[in-house]
């Protein structure tokens, strides 16, 4: 038997199951824990459609190039103004309807 044992951080006993503690049910495996947390996160926050734009924006934001960083803030600024205008329009539309 080459089954790995894992020390439970919760009850401090050795568990035969390296993923979930056989004594108290504590999730030992980091991967399993992250998996569950991710699922929970996805449940609470429905995944947004993957967009190349987001990646591009992330690239600009984390860029070492000050020009690209400035570009990021300009785009974000424009986006915020746009989002603000949309919100105002939505508010007016909602007020008009009601
Ligand atoms: Zn345990």
- Reduced 3-state DSSP string for 25-84: CCECCHHHHHHHHHHHHHHHCCCCCCCHHHHHHHHHHCCCCHHHHHHHHHHHHHHHHHHH
- 14 occurs within a structural domain: yes
Output the CA 37–ligand 1 centroid distance in Å.
19
**Do 32 and 66 sit in the same domain of this protein?**
no
**Do 90 and 56 sit in the same domain of this protein?**
yes
Q: Does the model's pTM come out above 0.75?
A: no
CA distance 82 to 86: 6
**Do 40 and 21 sit in the same domain of this protein?**
yes
pLDDT at residue number 98 = 64
Give me the domain span that covers residue 63: 52-97
Output the CA 24–ligand 1 centroid distance in Å.
4
Output the CA 4–ligand 1 centroid distance in Å.
15
CA distance 22 to 20: 6
H/E segment holding residue 11: none
- 17 occurs within a structural domain: yes
- 65 occurs within a structural domain: yes
Output the CA 1–ligand 1 centroid distance in Å.
22
pLDDT at residue number 11 = 95
Number of domains present in the structure of the chain: 2
pLDDT at residue number 15 = 93
Query: How would you write the pLDDT of the chain (98 residues) with one tens digit per residue?
Result: 456 889 998 999 999 998 999 999 999 888 888 998 888 888 887 766 668 888 888 888 899 999 999 999 999 999 999 999 999 999 998 887 76
pLDDT at residue number 97 = 72
**Do 68 and 33 sit in the same domain of this protein?**
no
Phi, psi of 44 (to 5 degrees): -75, -35
């Amino acid at each position: 038997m080459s089954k790995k044992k894992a020390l439970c951080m919760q009850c401090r006993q050795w568990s035969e199951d390296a993923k979930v503690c056989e004594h108290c049910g504590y999730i030992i495996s980091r991967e399993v824990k992250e998996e569950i947390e991710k699922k929970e996160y996805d449940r609470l926050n429905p995944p947004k459609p993957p967009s190349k734009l987001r990646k591009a924006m992330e690239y600009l934001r984390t860029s070492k190039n000050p020009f690209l960083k400035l570009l990021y803030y300009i785009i974000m600024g424009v986006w915020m103004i746009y989002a603000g205008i949309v919100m105002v329009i939505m508010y007016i539309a909602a007020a008009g309807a009601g």
